[in-house]
Amino acid sequence: MLESAKEGLYANLWVIHARWYYISAILLLGFLANFDQTRESGQVLSPFVLVALFALGLFFNFLFYLEAKAIERKGLFTRVKVLAISQIATELVFLTGIMFAVAEFKTIVPVLFFIPIVESIVLFDRIGPTIVSFLSSFLINIVLIMGVFVFPEQRVDFWPLFLTNTAPITVVYIIIGFFASSLAHLLKGRGQALIAQTEEQATHVKDLEKLNNELKKKADELYAKDVELTLANQRLQTLEAAKSKFIAVTTHQLRTPLAAVKWTFDMVVKEQLGSLNAEQKEFLQKGYNSTQRIIAIVNDLLNVASFDKIEGEQMNFVPVKFLDLLNSVVFEFTNQSESKNIKLTVLKPSKELPLITLDPDKVRMVLENLIDNAIKYTPKNGTVTIIIDDAKINTVNPSIDVIVSDTGIGIGEEDQKKIFQKFYRAANAVQFEPDGTGLGLFIGRDIISKHHGAMWFVSEQGKGTKFYITLPVNQPKQ
């Protein structure tokens, strides 16, 4: 509603602007008419009258201009229609006045009524231009009739003049009126469609702005959360460091006395301190095994405590006789395997192995864990076989495979995906051997990957497990 009222105001302003030009054009036409030799009356149009009319036209137009500006300034849009009607009405009266004043009936003055018709197309909808056309033809004829009677000296015959001049003008104006009204309607329709479109777009823009604001809010919230998280993360890191330090210190303190206990058990079991009966031997063996377990757990804890260090740490690579390293690890487990009557075998390659570049302490840790797991998760009377496969020793990138194979409890399909995760232990393993940390494999795989090797496994629950390690013979130069 407001939009169409504004449109109406701009239409009025457009007409007011146009009027400055055509009033001047009409003044010029008035002056030129005096040079027209074909004019019948020969009457001279007084320049004074012309200028007076011109001034009057300017004055009225100025009044309209002031009113339009007042409407615009104060938002009095209800006065738009009144302004439009006043403009057209004044113009019609003015033109009628001119026609009467010049007392010319065969001049082009009637044609000037075309102007208010055009203006009414701009100012009104359908019915307006029709009314203005009718009014124009009506006024032209009234002036004509009055002219015949008021100026008898001109001896103008009504009928010929009517038939040749005003009647065709009337007909033309009526036809124009109809066209003008449909043109006005068409233009207004288009205008309104455009307004509707603009309004729709404005709503879209508003929606987008709203969305944009919401997004900004969300981004701010996210930023705040991010800051919060960063702080929380920093706190966690501090706590984590404190925890690692605590574990490292305590486990370190535990390791030495535990080793002493283990070797004491070992000496007693091996009857180096005197003979034992079968029952004593069995109990002491259990004591030895348990100590071995605790040492493994403490080792795991120590390793994970220094895991962060391992992550950033360079491996201490040296060329190593791999079989010697493996044998010394296996030797550590003879007691443990014997106590469960597990057959612990090492299958070596027929050819001698070249020196393998590795970090012996770290690889020992990995091997210990794999062999320990194999014995730990294999029931009594089972077998644990360690195979060294040198099939890839003569390839472009020479490497060896170490396979630790057991006939133990195996790993279920679901657990297989998580077995390398920190602290993860499968339910069957927990049930079979409650002691354990779920850290060995997690640390082991990291160490092997730092050797540019690989670690994986194949397992079937209830049947057994094979853990594979690939170790390259040479490490890339650092």
Residue ranges binding ligand ADP (CB under 6 A): 369, 373-374, 377, 406, 408-411, 419, 425-426, 429, 436-442, 465
Handedness of CA 10, 15, 21, 24 (dihedral sign): negative
Q: How far is the CB of 435 from ligand ADP (least distance, A)?
A: 8
Answer yes or no: are the C-beta atoms of 261 and 276 closer than 8 Å. no
In the DSSP assignment, the letter for residue 78 is: G
Pick 168 or 379: Cβ nearer ligand ADP? 379
Rounded to whole angstroms, the Cα distance separating 377 from 370 reads: 11
Pick 248 or 297: Cβ nearer ligand ADP? 297
- Candidates 373, 386, 399, 395; CA nearest to 454 is 399
Pick 188 or 425: Cβ nearer ligand ADP? 425
Q: How far is the CB of 352 from ligand ADP (least distance, A)?
A: 29
- Candidates 50, 137, 145; CA nearest to 102 is 50
Kindly give the residue spans of alpha helices, DSSP state H, lying in 333-461.
334-339, 360-376, 413-416, 427-432, 440-450
Q: How far is the CB of 369 from ligand ADP (least distance, A)?
A: 5
Pick 243 or 422: Cβ nearer ligand ADP? 422
In this structure, what are the phi and psi dihedrals at residue 436, rounded to the nearest 5 degrees? 160, 155
Q: How far is the CB of 217 from ligand ADP (least distance, A)?
A: 46
Q: How far is the CB of 294 from ligand ADP (least distance, A)?
A: 12
Pick 199 or 435: Cβ nearer ligand ADP? 435
Handedness of CA 404, 407, 413, 416 (dihedral sign): negative
> How many residues are there in the chain?
478
Amino acid at position 1, single letter = M
Q: How far is the CB of 228 from ligand ADP (least distance, A)?
A: 34
Q: How far is the CB of 266 from ligand ADP (least distance, A)?
A: 22
Pick 301 or 400: Cβ nearer ligand ADP? 301
Pick 107 or 303: Cβ nearer ligand ADP? 303
Other CB atoms within 10 Å distance of the CB of residue 439: 22
Rounded to whole angstroms, the Cα distance separating 231 from 224 reads: 11
Residues 6+ apart with CB under 8 A from 356: 319, 320, 322, 400, 471, 473
Pick 133 or 292: Cβ nearer ligand ADP? 292
Q: How far is the CB of 326 from ligand ADP (least distance, A)?
A: 17
Other CB atoms within 10 Å distance of the CB of residue 27: 18
Amino acid at position 123, single letter = L
